[in-house]
Amino acid sequence: MTQYYLLAFTAITLTGFAQLFLKVGASRGGFDLRERRAHPMLLLGLGTLAIAMLLNVRSLSVLPLRALAFISPVAYILTPLLAGLFLGEKLSRNVVLGTVVVIVGMIVFNLRLFFLY
Amino acid sequence: MKIALYLSFFFIATAFAQVALKIVASGPGGQDYLLLFSDPLFYVCCVGFIAQAYTWIAVLKVMPLSQAYPISSLNVVFTLVCAAVFFNEAVTLENVIGSVIIVAGIIILSCGRRDERESS
């Protein structure tokens, strides 16, 4: 069972990095529909998201549904941290407080999952 | 204004994709891959997810990731509304309380953005 939790947290970590790649790709031009071109970091981000989704599906095929309730908020902690660390984004007091409140909201939203098998 | 517009398009695209996915998954396509690929609604669903990705990248162009990602959690609230309206799914008390707390968190985040713009 432990390996499936590790798989789920790996998926969450990959999701965080995928968002990072998408942000870099978006900042450096994004999609150009006229020239039918996309920045390589966008493709890397979308590919990483796809891998994360596959790992998620695999881990959730074994893990109980209540695992989602405490695994999914981790992405909301990790992604802003990665943005602060690698992109130099300022994590102001309001951003940190707002993110914490959002995470609490998501846990409350999924509270019933804690009681399901 | 641009940020609000792009975020709105992102939430609409996500809600559209989620509703289409639920309809497809609830039908015969949800049981059989051959039936899935022959269901026109599956392709509508794919368009929805492509639109979601495109609008998300547009949001990332104009917003810092550390703020955009928590704000994207509002999708949970829109999905709840769509589930209740289109599929008559039950809305529990913790769904409502959780949604209110999520919206409060996003308001706190947005106040921070306004303060940063005024001070710069």
| pLDDT value of position A110 | 85
Distance CA B56, CA B1 (A): 16
pTM: 0.84
Mean pLDDT computed over every residue of chain B: 85
Q: How far is B109 from chain A (nearest CA, A)?
A: 5
0.85 surpassed by complex ipTM: no
Phi, psi of A37 (to 5 degrees): -130, 145
Under an 8 A CB cutoff, do B65 and A89 touch?
Answer: yes
Residue A107 reports pLDDT greater than 60 = yes
Residue A112 at interface with chain B, using a CB cutoff of 8 Å: yes
Mean pLDDT computed over every residue of chain A: 85
Of residues A76, A103, A112, nearest to B92 (C-beta): A112
Under an 8 A CB cutoff, do B53 and A46 touch?
Answer: yes
Residue B25 reports pLDDT greater than 70 = yes
Give CA separation, A23 vs A37, A79, B50, B64, in Å: 16, 11, 17, 8
Give the tens place of pLDDT for each residue, A38-54: 788 899 999 999 899 88
Mutate to test the interface with B, among A17, A87, A99 (most CBs of B within 10 A): A99
Give the tens place of pLDDT for each residue, A63-94: 877 777 778 888 899 999 999 999 999 888 98
